[in-house]
Amino acid sequence: DTAVSQTPKYLVTQMGNDKSIKCEQNLGHDTMYWYKQDSKKFLKIMFSYNNKELIINETVPNRFSPKSPDKAHLNLHINSLELGDSAVYFCASSRSLQGANYGYTFGSGTRLTVV
């Protein structure tokens, strides 16, 4: 039973394309996140969703749009992909906004390569 699952695991696409990454959690958590990990392994938060509402939107280009159809899903849609978008994207979830008290549970990541 995978707690936080992301699809696809690998995504190779051309510049200018639009793509989506899906995330699902079966932990009953009510907050979900998207993190970006660059080539130097630095993890930076992009978005968090609590009860289907966007709570945090860091300085991420508006080409990136999170979509949450329900508490268990948080998808990431990216328009007009650029070379600099190449990275590993991690979905995570936690219980309530006080997530650190219980730790964030991460998915295994989606490696996006823009060519």
Partner 1 sequence: GQQLNQSPQSMFIQEGEDVSMNCTSSSIFNTWLWYKQDPGEGPVLLIALYKAGELTSNGRLTAQFGITRKDSFLNISASIPSDVGIYFCAGQRDYGGSQGNLIFGKGTKLSVKP
Residues contributing to the site for partner 1 (CB under 8 A): 4, 33, 40-45, 48, 56, 58, 90, 92, 97-109
Contact 95, 23 (CB under 8 A): no
Cβ proximity to partner 1: between 14 and 41 the closer is 41
> Least distance to partner 1 from the beta carbon of 75, Å?
17
Cβ proximity to partner 1: between 4 and 11 the closer is 4
Burial (Cβ within 10 Å: 0-12, 13-18, ≥19) of residue 4? buried
> Least distance to partner 1 from the beta carbon of 28, Å?
17
In Å, how far from its chain's centre is CA 20? Answer: 10
> Least distance to partner 1 from the beta carbon of 71, Å?
18
Residues in a beta bridge with 25: 4
Q: Is the peptide bond between 8 and the residue preceding it cis, with omega within 30 degrees of 0?
A: yes
Cβ proximity to partner 1: between 20 and 108 the closer is 108
Half-sphere exposure of 41 (CA within 13 A, CB side): 0
> Least distance to partner 1 from the beta carbon of 66, Å?
14
Cβ proximity to partner 1: between 15 and 26 the closer is 26
